[in-house]
Amino acid sequence: MHPISYSGEIYMTRQEVYAEIKGMFGLVPKFIQLIPDSSLEMEWQLFKRVQFDEGAIPNKYRELIGIGIAAVSKCRYCVAFHTVAAKLNGATDAEIEDAIHFAKSAAGWSTWINGFALDFEEFKKELETMAAFIRSQNS
């Protein structure tokens, strides 16, 4: 029998969610085991959708973005997860290194620009001017 939520919707039991996870990964990772019953199915459905459904950005590139975000936020668990996932989606060591280097550069420039509290509207105008110049050079 399926439990009924407060909204009256039928949802998966912990055992059903675990069976699905084991079918995909061969085990239920500890970080999933720690999710409370009240949100387990929701978290699992969201995890599958975000991590595995192909969106406008192919999974390989999403995982490379994930590596960069994880590196900047200093989450070693996330770096490990997204590195493995990127490789499973075909990323090379060189692409992973490039993603990390790009994240380092972006974080560094963010620190620099924010540290000087540059005027945001002026910054956007400069970007527009630079982009227009580049477009004119490429046409």
Q: pLDDT digits over 2-35, tens only?
A: 554 555 565 899 999 999 999 999 999 999 999 9
Cα–Cα distance measured from residue 109 to residue 51, given in angstroms and rounded to the nearest whole number: 29
**What is the pLDDT at residue 104?**
96
Q: pLDDT-based confidence at 54, cuts 50/70/90?
A: confident
Q: Are the beta carbons of 82 and 66 closer than 8 angstroms?
A: yes
Q: pLDDT-based confidence at 1, cuts 50/70/90?
A: very low
Q: pLDDT digits over 61-98, tens only?
A: 999 999 999 999 999 999 999 999 999 999 999 999 99
Domain boundaries, the chain: 1-53, 56-139
Q: pLDDT-based confidence at 125, cuts 50/70/90?
A: very high
**What is the pLDDT at residue 4?**
45
pTM, to two decimals:
0.82
Instruction: For domain 56-139, give the fold.
Output: AhpD-like (1.20.1290)
Q: Are the beta carbons of 110 and 81 closer than 8 angstroms?
A: no
Cα–Cα distance measured from residue 101 to residue 68, given in angstroms and rounded to the nearest whole number: 8
Distances (CA, A) of 8 to 4, 46, 83, 90: 6, 20, 39, 42
